[in-house]
Chains A and B, each alone.
Chain A
Amino acid sequence: MLKKLFPYTKGYRLLILGGILCSILESVFELLLPKAMSNIVDVGMANGDRNYILAMGLRMVLLALAALAGGIGAALFAARAGMGFGAQLRQAEYEQVQRFSFANIEHFSTASLITRLTNDVASMQVTLMMCMRIFVRAPVMLITALVMALTISLDLSQVFLVSIPLLGLGVILVITKVGPYFTALQKATDDVNLVVQEDLNAIRVVKSFVREDREREKFARRSEHLRDTAMRAFGFVVIFMPLVTLIMGGTIVAINWIGGHYVFNGLMLSGDLIAFFTYATEILTSLMMVSMVMMMLTRSIACAKRIVEVLDEKPEITDAAADNALTVENGSIRFDHVYFKYHPTAEAWNLDDVSLEIPSGATVGILGGTGSAKTTLVSLIPRLYEATEGTVSVGGYDVKDYTMEALRNGCAMVLQKNTLFSGTIAENLRWGRDDATDEELRQACAVACADEFIDKMPEGYNTRIERGGSNVSGGQKQRLCIARAILRRPKILILDDSTSAVDTATDARIRAGLRTTLPGATKLIIAQRITSVMDADLIIVMDDGRISAMGTHGELMERSQIYREVYQSQQEGVSIDG
């Protein structure tokens, strides 16, 4: 795991090393102080040697200053290295996500990818910072303090034979027990949050049915459960500190008793006894620090695992077999016995033996019920997914022969669930083509019937779109997305139910516009409304992953029962808006 993340420390390894060194120096210098103190007491004070005390005191101040420098150095190095490492890791992960295909993205889900890129990376950079400081410091302190204690008195150090295992036992007990408590706590918290989330989303339903009281009760139950779980979890955690106080106290009493005898019998000097107390406390605190670091590490290992999963994910679709020089020359499309399924383990095919041929420049309508694989079918054309079996060809070549850039330049798709990005309308449109002139933007918007509302906006094409396009209506968003795709001047244009929120008349105008502006481009239109596809050169009727029928409106009315049914059901009425 850590080996996988190690490469991202590149460029910061010297800093890390320097930080660790500083940390070690701070700890060692710090622990030389008590011994120096005991020298002042046992030599300087005992002999009444003023100069010795002054010299030793000066030495102590210098040691403390050196420790100060080490401590601050470690902090500065840790900050720089931790943040640098985090930035590199985040970048690598982000670039990896950019290489992902649709299937890869779905494998993780959007929300999870965001967490892995934000919270998980943040947790890793904090971990590195803490590691450089505490994780190095704690064992160094433990060892140094132990060595110092042993040199002062081997016999007295036997006290640790009891107290260290005792403390260790306490630590292990707490760490092993605390996990389940906190898992339960997390679950109880999630339960409470779920009720709030659902209540907020469904507030109109709640109010309509006058179910406020029921929601209150539901919430109260979960909330009280959370309280009880939290009390158990935190109630357990707080045992730890008093336990440590107790062990520490016991150790000090024991040292006093045994050490007292040694001092009286002249086996030990009183200054050494005082220094020994200090070392004893340091040993026990550093042990606690080690255990705290362990707890933190287990948490960040979970984060590291999640990041490594992203880094290790194999981008499903690559340019490996592509010919760099190839571009899409015409818009002909061919499916040759294509089979496809989203999950390799699934039993049924999502696309089951699909073969079809579409000449360049044709307008093709695709109809079919929900789940009949209309979207799946068209997604294979710009290679958003890879056909499991069979080949998909565009412009006479297998889609795998094109680089993704070339293929997607030649083939624009307006997704069903489309997104705009924060920025001006013009900036969003230029996603279609970077160097489009203002005039070209206007033309594309005219075709997509987007000009009518853009012109009404106070700032026109410079109107800012909020994140996700939340400040434009569904129909406006769809029209902007269509304009964006038109700007690409594609050889193939795919509209996946892209006018569902646009009224019928506008829908018809958009289709007419496409015919005249992109006469040579192959146009694939997925629609619910039969009027949207009725005048197409070819209509494909999908049913359960197969092509049920193909032909013109007239032919299908004769041949296809599904088509007739859909036609008749819509003939009874016409949709007038979304």
Chain B
Amino acid sequence: MAENNSSRPAERRGPRGHGYQRPQNLWGTVKRLLKYLTRFRLLLVFVLFCLLVSTLGSIATSYMLKPLINNYILPGDFAGLAKMLALMGAIFGLSALCSLVYARTMVRISQETVVVLRQDLFDKLQTLPIRYFDTHQSGDLMSRFTNDIDTVSELINNSLANILTSILTFFGTLIMMFVLNWRLTLITLFFLLLMGFVVKFVGGRSRTNFQAQQAALGSLNGYIEEMIEGQKVIKVFHHEDKAVEHFDHLNAAYRSAATRAQSYAGSMMPAMANLSRINYAATCCIGGLLALRGIFDVGTMGAYLLYVRQVSQPVAQISQQFNVLMAAMAGAERIFAVMDAQPETDDGSTVLVRVEKNGDVLTETDRRTGHWAWKRPDGTLVELRGDVRFRDVDFGYTDEKTVLHNVSLYAKPGQKIAFVGSTGAGKTTITNLINRFYDIQDGVITYDGIDVKEIRKESLRRSLGVVLQETNLFTGTIADNIRYGKLDATDEEVRAAAKLANADTFIRHLPQGYDTVITDNGGSLSQGERQLLAIARAAVSDPPVLILDEATSSIDTRTEKLIEEGMDSLMEGRTVFVIAHRLSTVRNARAILVLEQGRIIERGDHRQLIEQRGRYYQLYTGQAQLG
């Protein structure tokens, strides 16, 4: 099921950014994201204030050029000039200070918001049912944490303030230009209109071409990934030339798509900047002519020209930041989609409690007595013994396709029940129903006489130990990994569990013994050693019921022997469900269930099944025939 999402080093990321994306439900997403910001309401008002001061400051300093030249420099009023310049310096200082303060505040707000968002997302993931993970690729979920959270963080960190300053600067500057000279402002307005047109036209073209570029990049990178991952097969079949041929084709397609997209995208900035320069030229010329008629002067010209340079920048900025905003909203939308997924439901009210046992009388206690009981909602206690029964159970992963038909079975405390059958017969499915990874469609599963649906999932799973076919370890020490089964286990308990699982010997041979740090899902350990650790992890939790999915296909026989021994000692005195891949583990089982296409076709112990001369007998004697 999770075969193709093997963990990869963080080094590899998908093609960055997804081009221009649009969220589906913009306002809903905005509102929801704003909720995360409400606790910073006051700070945000403060930021807005600082932002206003700093923007107005920079507009004001440009305006001051007019009185500086006209009223002080040209008449030679140096005392006034000094005062004016002191004021100007103060405004510059204030403006810089304010922008520092709001930028730092936004950094803080953004990080504080994102940390909550990230935690909410992760917490939510923990509550989702296994079914969700079956249908969503882990790489896809990963990108919510990487790309999507990043874009949201970038938005709050940078873009929000950027958009606000741009808008303020644009309108503030335009107003001041009107104040300085309305005739010239009409010319500027004409150029701004032209720029708007460029943004719309070139921007639109660049958007469609960008999508084509991303599509070409997607297929090129996809091809590269696939070929490099299969490089060894390419070598073995001497397929190098073919692999290059198709690559060349994709590479050329990407080159031409990217050239087109980048030509449009790259032209945008020079077009805007130079339109602004033509505006500058026109302003100088017409300003000069106006001056001849006495309605313009040098100081005004100086200030106005500063504004001409200032007013065009926000136009490009806003269109750029708008894309960031949209990408962030699309990212936030994807994050919220995960948060809105249906969590695993749990209406169970029976819980697991520690008890003290005096004869037949059970009393609830906090001490570690080694005895457990189910506490029903009415307060009655039922001793945890490990009696599991299936009655007429039907199950399918989807409604259309039933995987298990009419399965009935029982396991009395301490019994070992084995499932035998070919891949896809439904063995793993049965074990997934006991711990309620999935809920059954029809029938009943009881645990110590209680319907498992009435048991709180957390309690149910605590009472079960599981060794899965696919071993997953966590980055950390060996001891930490074993302790995962029981968080408060002492060093002795950890060691005892490892000994029980036959893992102690190899662990002690590691450079740092139990403190050896493993990374990358135990990449430095062999498959067999990882399996032994998984067994130790289940052993330390000391559960009354065990589910073992033996995985031995790629383990050599000697390691397998070790694993078998480990499993055997672990199974002693517990109710065990074992999915057997080798009949040797099965022979001493109390009951062997042979599954085929979701039905139990034979059941009995080894001797009975051999006597039945059915499917089990065939499987068993397949060996005799061949050997």
Instruction: Give every chain A residue within 8 A of B145 (Cβ-Cβ).
Output: 192-193, 196
A98 B244 Cβ-Cβ under 8 A: yes
- Bound together, the chains give a CA A289 to CA B258 distance in angstroms of 25
- Asked if A143 is at the interface (CB within 8 A of a chain B CB), the reply is no
Looking across the interface, which residue of chain B has its beta carbon closest to that of A84?
B255
A196 to B557, Cβ gap below 8 A?
no
Q: Is A347 part of the binding interface, using a Cβ–Cβ cutoff of 8 Å?
A: no
- Please tell me if the beta carbons of A235 and B104 are within 8 angstroms of each other in the complex: yes
Within the complex, which residue of B472, B528, B556 is in contact with A368, where a contact is CB–CB below 8 Å? B556
- Cross-chain contact A53 with B285 (CB below 8 angstroms): yes
Per the bound structure, the CA–CA distance linking A422 and B280 in Å amounts to 57
Contact among B58, B461, B582 for A208, CB-based, below 8 A: B461
Contact between chains at A277 and B306 (CB < 8 Å): yes
- The listed residue (B273, B281, B301) touching A71 by CB distance below 8 A is B273
- List A contacts of B301 (CB < 8 A): 41, 274
**Contact between A102 and B266, CB atoms less than 8 A apart:** no
Chain B 13-24: CB-based contact to A (< 8 A → 1; otherwise 0): 101100000000
Looking at A199-207, A290-298, A333-341, the stretch in contact with chain B turns out to be A199-207
CB of B510 within 8 Å of the partner chain? no
Name A570's contact: one of B114, B420, B421, B557 (CB within 8 Å): B557
Distance of A122 Cα from B220 Cα, bound (Å): 12
Q: Tell me how far the C-beta of A31 lies from the nearest C-beta in chain B, rounded to whole angstroms.
A: 10
Which residues of B in the span 62-79 have a Cβ within 8 Å of any Cβ on A?
Answer: 65, 68-69, 72-74, 76, 78
Pair B422/A503 contact, Cβ less than 8 Å = yes
Q: Which residues 517-575 in B have Cβ within 8 Å of A in the complex?
A: 521, 526-528, 537, 541, 552-561
Name the CB-closest residue of B to A112. B11
Which B residues are CB-close (under 8 A) to A360? none
Q: Which of B103, B107, B475, B526 contacts A371 (CB 8 A)?
A: B526
Q: Cα distance A65–B269 when bound, in Å?
A: 15
Q: What residue of chain B has the Cβ atom nearest to residue A370's Cβ?
A: B556
Considering the chains assembled together, what is the distance between the CA atoms of A554 and B274 in angstroms?
A: 89
Of A88-96, A167-175, A442-450, A454-462, the one touching chain B:
A88-96
Of B41-49, B81-89, B176-184, B377-385, the segment with at least 4 beta carbons within 8 Å of chain A is B81-89
Chain A neighbourhood of B240, CB < 8 A? 98-99
Question: Are B3 and A214 in touch, CB under 8 angstroms?
Answer: no
The answer to the question of B169 belonging to the interface, with a C-beta cut-off of 8 Å to chain A, is no
Say yes or no: A79 contacts B262, CB within 8 Å: yes
CA distance A205 to B481 in the complex (A): 11
Q: Which of B81, B107, B278 contacts A64 (CB 8 A)?
A: B278
**Stretch of A154-162, A245-253, A322-330, A391-399 with 4 or more beta carbons under 8 angstroms from chain B:** A245-253
Q: In the complex, which residues 205-240 of chain A have their Cβ closer than 8 Å to any Cβ of chain B?
A: 205-212, 214-216, 219-220, 223-224, 226-227, 230-231, 234-235, 238-239
Q: CB < 8 Å: which of A109, A196, A198, A467 contacts B475?
A: A198
Residue of B nearest to A413 (CB): B236
Contact of A87 among B89, B138, B255, B464 (CB under 8 A): B255
B95 interface contact, C-beta 8 A: yes
A241 to B287, CA, bound (A): 33
Given A91-B247, A419-B233, A115 and B12 contact (CB-CB distance below 8 Å)? yes
Cβ of A311 within 8 Å of any chain B Cβ, yes or no, is: no
Q: How many B residues have CB within 8 A of the partner chain?
A: 168
Q: Which residues of B contact A488 (CB under 8 A)?
A: 237
Binds B, one of A176-184, A256-264, A517-525: A256-264
A436 at the binding interface (Cβ < 8 Å): no
Q: Are A370 and B280 in contact (CB under 8 A)?
A: no
Give the chain B neighbours of A370 by CB distance below 8 A.
Answer: 526-528, 555-556, 559
B115 and A75 form a contact (CB under 8 A): no
* Beta-carbon contacts under 8 Å, B106-120 to A: 107-108, 110-112, 114-115, 118-119
Cα–Cα, bound, A222→B98 (Å): 32
Question: Does B292 sit within 8 A of A, measured CB to CB?
Answer: yes
Q: Which of A2-10, A44-52, A145-153, A350-358 contacts B (4 or more CB under 8 A)?
A: A44-52
B123 to chain A, nearest CB (A): 6
Interface residues of B in 481-524 (CB under 8 A from A): 484-485, 487, 521
Cβ A190 vs Cβ B10 within 8 A: yes
| Bound: A50/B12 CA distance, A | 65
Q: Verify if B175 is at the interface (C-beta below 8 Å from A).
A: no
A133 to B112, CA, bound (A): 38
Given the known A-B contacts A65-B278, A129-B262, A250-B89, are A100 and B553 also in contact in the complex, defined by CB atoms under 8 Å? no
**Complex formed: what's the CA distance from A501 to B424 in Å?**
12
Interface string of A102-120 (1 = CB under 8 A from B): 1001000111111101110
Count A-side interface residues using an 8 Å CB cutoff: 174
A295 to B74, CA, bound (A): 44
In angstroms, Cα B398 to Cα A450, docked, is 28
Does residue B243 face the partner (Cβ distance < 8 Å to A)? Answer: yes
Contact yes or no, B270 A74, CB < 8 A: yes
Query: Which residues of chain A are within 8 angstroms of B309 by Cβ–Cβ distance?
Result: 278
Minimal beta-carbon separation of B555 from chain A (angstroms): 7
| B232 touching A409, Cβ below 8 Å | no
Given the contacts A208-B435, A249-B96, A382 and B236 also touching, CB distance less than 8 Å:
yes
Of B68, B81, B285, B557, the residue contacting A61 (CB under 8 A) is: B285
Most chain B Cβ neighbours within 10 Å, of A67, A256, A273, A371: A256
Decide if B345 is an interface residue (CB 8 Å cutoff).
Answer: no
Q: How far is the CB of B200 from chain A (nearest CB, A)?
A: 17
Closest to A109 in B: B9
Contact A76 B92 (CB under 8 A): no
Partner of A44, one of B288, B437, B472: B288
**Binary contact readout B452-485 vs A (1 if CB under 8 angstroms, 0 otherwise):** 0000001001101010100011110000000011
- Let me know if B255 and A242 touch, CB within 8 A: no
Contact present for B585 and A573 (CB under 8 Å) = yes
User: Chain B's nearest CB lies how many Å from the CB of A258?
Assistant: 11
List which B226-246 residues lie within 8 A (CB) of chain A: 226, 228-240, 243-244
Please measure, in the bound complex, the distance between the C-alpha atom of A271 and the C-alpha atom of B69, giving whole angstroms: 10
Answer whether residue A28 sits at the interface, using C-beta atoms and an 8 A cutoff: no
Given contacts A118-B15, A199-B125, A208-B464, contact A57 B286 (CB under 8 A): yes
Q: Name A235's contact: one of B107, B258, B282, B485 (CB within 8 Å).
A: B107
A40 within 8 A of B: yes
Distance, CA A261 to CA B61, complexed state (A): 20
Chain A residues, Cβ within 8 Å of B623: 504, 531, 571, 573-574
Does B2 have its Cβ within 8 Å of any Cβ on chain A? yes
Residue of A67, A78, A189, A421 near B230 (CB, 8 A) is A421
For the complex, is B97 an interface residue (Cβ under 8 Å from A)? yes
A437 within 8 A of B: no
User: Nearest-CB distance from A113 to chain B (Å)?
Assistant: 5
B104 touches A201 (CB 8 A): no
* Residues 51-84 of A contacting B (Cβ, < 8 Å): 53-54, 56-58, 60-61, 63-65, 67-68, 70-72, 74-76, 78-80, 82-84
Q: Which of B126-134, B318-326, B328-336 lines the interface with chain A? A: B126-134
**What CA separation (Å) do A212 and B421 show in the bound complex?**
33
Are A83's CB and B259's CB within 8 A? yes
Q: How far is the CB of B348 from chain A (nearest CB, A)?
A: 13
Contact A271 B298 (CB under 8 A): yes
A66 to chain B, nearest CB (A): 9
**9 residue pairs A–B, Cβ–Cβ below 8 Å:** A60-B280, A64-B278, A65-B274, A82-B262, A193-B146, A231-B107, A274-B305, A370-B556, A468-B229
Other CB < 8 Å A-B pairs besides A115-B12, A202-B472, A226-B115, 13 of them? A78-B262, A97-B228, A122-B217, A204-B472, A214-B487, A219-B119, A230-B111, A263-B73, A370-B526, A488-B237, A569-B558, A573-B582, A577-B421
